[in-house]
């Protein structure tokens, strides 16, 4: 479990940076860097779901807009079912007929995705890094789609899909869950709350940021409530 001070130090509130990149920095601060880089997409989503459980200790909420009637469908994601999903075999390989020969591919890792981030075609660059046999055969669009589907079967948490029925019109919906976006949104709220607490307590008592963040959660909340009674800025709803 990250301390409040480590969480503030490791988390960026710059929302112009994609959620998965902000979370990658936080994950590296929490866990062994080498092990994190070896994560498959499913491993990374599993790691982020565990991070949610540690920081929030409540349901992970999502909202799915109905494509038929436009109603927002709110739901709690089945965290236990996701976390109980078996991890992909570390040595998994996928063989694919590429027309002029067979290609053999391993599952993509986070290091592959980070290395290909600046490429013009990220998906193609990632898959080429994952090719272990069959050099020379071109990966066309259809082949990449087939390969992606095979990867999802082996590594089911790499693309989490929830099936629901719209509360507005009864349409069956299948929505892909962007775990990184959901967890990043939660951590934004937590860290912004910590900044507000530091501002209130530093303004009222003159304490340093380090001292405030080192306080146990219940004591910090108690001091924030007392600061409000002393005429400080009224406490806002915290995440």
- Name the pLDDT band for 100 (thresholds 50, 70, 90): confident
Bigger pLDDT: 29 or 147? 147
Per-residue model confidence as pLDDT tens digits over 154-207: 999 999 999 999 999 999 999 999 999 999 999 999 999 999 999 999 999 999
Q: Locate 144 and state its tokens.
A: 């990449």
pLDDT at 232: 42
Residue 234 has pLDDT above 60, yes or no: no
Decide: helix, strand or coil at residue 72.
Answer: strand
Window from 1-10, 105-114, 144-153, 214-223 with minimum mean pLDDT: 1-10
pLDDT at 35: 66
Bigger pLDDT: 189 or 31? 189
d(CA 76, CA 62): 6
Closest CA to 130 of 40, 48, 47, 46: 40
pTM: 0.86
β-pairing verdict for 131-133 and 102-106: antiparallel
Per-residue model confidence as pLDDT tens digits over 110-158: 999 989 988 999 999 999 999 998 777 778 899 999 999 999 999 999 9
Where in the chain are the domains?
Answer: 93-154, 186-229
pLDDT at 29: 81
d(CA 195, CA 237): 13
Decide: helix, strand or coil at residue 4.
Answer: helix
Percent share of the chain, pLDDT over 70: 94
């Amino acid at each position: 479990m990250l301390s409040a001070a480590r969480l503030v130090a490791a988390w960026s509130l710059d929302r112009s940076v994609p959620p998965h990149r902000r979370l990658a920095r936080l994950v590296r601060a929490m866990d062994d860097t080498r092990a994190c880089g070896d994560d498959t997409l499913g491993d990374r989503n599993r790691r982020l779901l565990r991070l949610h459980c540690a920081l929030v200790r409540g349901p992970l909420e999502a909202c799915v807009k109905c494509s038929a009637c436009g109603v927002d469908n709110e739901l709690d994601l089945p965290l236990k079912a996701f976390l109980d999903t078996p991890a992909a075999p570390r040595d998994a390989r996928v063989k694919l007929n590429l027309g002029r020969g067979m290609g053999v591919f391993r599952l993509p890792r986070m290091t592959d995705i980070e290395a290909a981030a600046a490429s013009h075609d990220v998906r193609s660059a990632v898959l080429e890094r994952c090719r272990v046999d069959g050099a020379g055969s071109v990966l066309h669009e259809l082949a990449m789609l087939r390969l992606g589907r095979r990867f999802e079967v082996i590594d089911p948490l790499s693309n989490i899909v929830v099936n629901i029925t719209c509360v507005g019109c009864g349409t069956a919906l299948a929505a892909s869950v962007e775990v990184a976006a959901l967890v990043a949104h939660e951590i934004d709220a937590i860290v912004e709350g910590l900044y507000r607490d530091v501002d209130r307590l530093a303004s009222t008592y003159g304490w340093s940021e380090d001292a405030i963040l080192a306080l146990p959660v219940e004591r910090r909340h108690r001091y924030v409530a007392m600061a409000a009674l002393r005429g400080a800025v009224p406490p806002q709803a915290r995440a």
